[in-house]
Amino acid sequence: MARLKRKIDEYLINWKKEEDRLPLIVKGARQIGKTNAIRNFGENNYKVFIEINFALQPGFKTIFDEGFAVDNIIKNITIKNPAIEVIPYETLIFFDEMQECVSTATSLKSFREDGRYDVICSGSLMGINYKEIESNSVGNKEDYIMHSMDFEEFLWAKGYKKEQIEDLFEHMLKLEPLNQAVYDTMLNNFKEYMILGGMPRIVNHFIENKNFSGVLKMQQQILLDYEEDITKYAGGLDQAKILNVYRKIPVFLGQENKKFQISKIKDGARNREYVGVIDWLSNAGIVNISYDLERLKLPLKGNYNPDNYRIYFADTGLLIGSLDEEVQEDLRNNENLNIYKGALYENIVADMLVKQGYDLFFYKNDRKRIEMDFFIRDTSSLIPLEVKANDNSTPSLNRLIESEKNTDIKYGIKLCNKNIGFNGKFYTFPYFLTFFLKRYLKEKNKK
């Protein structure tokens, strides 16, 4: 498999340059490319790279049996594998699948205080192991949250250069429409990305084969692998409840209001019986949660209802893979998404917002007939963000901006199949520029 350029690559280079760098934990769901990225970094930036996978090499779990002094740990590693030659200040130790050996988290304090060896950890941080790892390593590590490939990384995989992507941003910043050839090409790239998702193995398969053959099977296998992880790592939580929620996500996304209702998962089910289930799936990196805003005020985190939420797949390719065979056939043959069209665009925008570091919030007021898909913010404004599968009218967006009661809302953003523009009330951007939003708002406010 070809090596795909990822955004974590630059992050790791900068981490190594820090004089007082802490041990690093790379967090994220399975199969998003954590191991390959860390391995590539280690092999190309250190004289010695040691990779220990506690799932594939369980015998290495005993390296902490004599305590957490760094010299003892290094001694036990070299006893397990005498071929390893450790060089102080020139060695990276990579502990993979650390959830299989929670003692790894406890060792980070010793590595931090010793300072002779760089350490990166990764794994599937789920359930009880996730909490234990967090408590055992607090204050002694730096976290990096990794996701599946975003649209920019997908464009890199397709061969686009930095200058070409930067040109898209310059048009956005100047509010200059893209020429039709560029627009059509990028929209086609975006539709490919929407069907594929950002799992590196799937993207690489598509790039090498130049078609979608075999992609659905790969997506469905990842969904099954996640179910296996749930069964393996759910710990004290009821595995059946987590699986019930996980399997019902496409059902709720296919409904008009997309609200996730525990009562419809199982007859007689109540919210209190599912406490922790949604958080578990979110911590595992499998889903993104969007919460209902009760008041259209800043700050966002102080004005939402934690009991009213929508759940999206953290990778839109997995939503595609979860749909039934008839929808799949319609999608690939006719590019028709039927009832899931709106859900798919919402899911991918949610995914693109989270990959920029945004939390997700929506708003729905049945009495006033106002609904808004997402809200983000700049330094001083609350920004309603409407996602349109087509270029339909935007009555909710107009009402929110025009209402004198919404003092924090000064303008809005509409994402749809339409070129760059501004009508005095809201900005219009094509879906494929969503990955630039955070940067755009920062640059816009400097002008």
The pLDDT, as a whole number, for residue 1 is: 60
The pLDDT, as a whole number, for residue 274 is: 78
pLDDT tens sequence for the chain (447 residues): 678 999 999 999 999 999 999 999 999 998 999 999 999 999 999 999 999 999 999 999 999 999 999 999 999 999 999 999 999 999 999 999 998 999 999 999 999 999 999 999 998 767 556 677 777 788 899 999 999 999 999 999 999 999 999 999 999 999 999 999 999 999 999 999 998 999 999 999 999 999 989 999 999 999 999 999 888 888 777 888 899 889 988 888 877 667 777 777 777 777 777 778 888 899 889 999 999 999 999 999 888 998 888 999 999 999 989 987 666 666 666 666 666 777 889 999 999 999 999 999 999 998 888 999 999 999 999 999 999 977 777 899 999 999 999 999 999 999 999 999 999 999 999 999 999 999 999 998 776
DSSP state of 3: P
For 65, the 3-state DSSP assignment is coil
The pLDDT, as a whole number, for residue 128 is: 57
Residue (of 427, 414, 222, 443) closest to 314 by Cα position: 222
The pLDDT, as a whole number, for residue 339 is: 62
Peptide bond into 299 cis (omega under 30): yes
243-248 contacts: CB < 8 A, separation 24 or more?
245/274, 245/277, 245/278, 245/281, 245/311, 246/281, 246/286, 246/287
Residues 370 and 409: their CA atoms lie apart, in Å, by: 15
> Which one-letter amino acid corresponds to residue 187?
L
What is the number of helices (H) and of strands (E) in the chain?
A: 17, 14
Residue ranges of alpha helices (H) inside 254-358 are 277-283, 316-322, 325-334, 341-354
Q: How far is CA 284 from CA 131, 229, 279, in A?
A: 11, 10, 8
Q: What are phi and psi of 119, to 5 degrees?
A: -130, 130
Q: How far is CA 147 from CA 166, 327, 438, in A?
A: 22, 26, 17
pLDDT in tens, 233-275: 887 778 888 998 899 888 888 776 677 777 777 777 777 777 7
Which tokens sit at 104?
């790894």
Q: What are phi and psi of 386, to 5 degrees?
A: -105, 135
Residue (of 165, 178, 172) closest to 443 by Cα position: 172
Prediction pTM value: 0.94
Burial readout 254-281 (b: 16 or more C-beta within 10 A, e: otherwise): eeeebebebeebeeebeeeebeebbebb
- ∠226-232-235 over CA atoms, to 5°? 120
Residues sharing a CB contact under 8 Å with residue 9, sequence separation 6 or more, in sequence order: 37, 40, 41
Residue (of 199, 167, 231) closest to 436 by Cα position: 167
The pLDDT, as a whole number, for residue 332 is: 64
CB 168 within 8 A of CB 186: yes
The pLDDT, as a whole number, for residue 331 is: 67
The pLDDT, as a whole number, for residue 333 is: 65
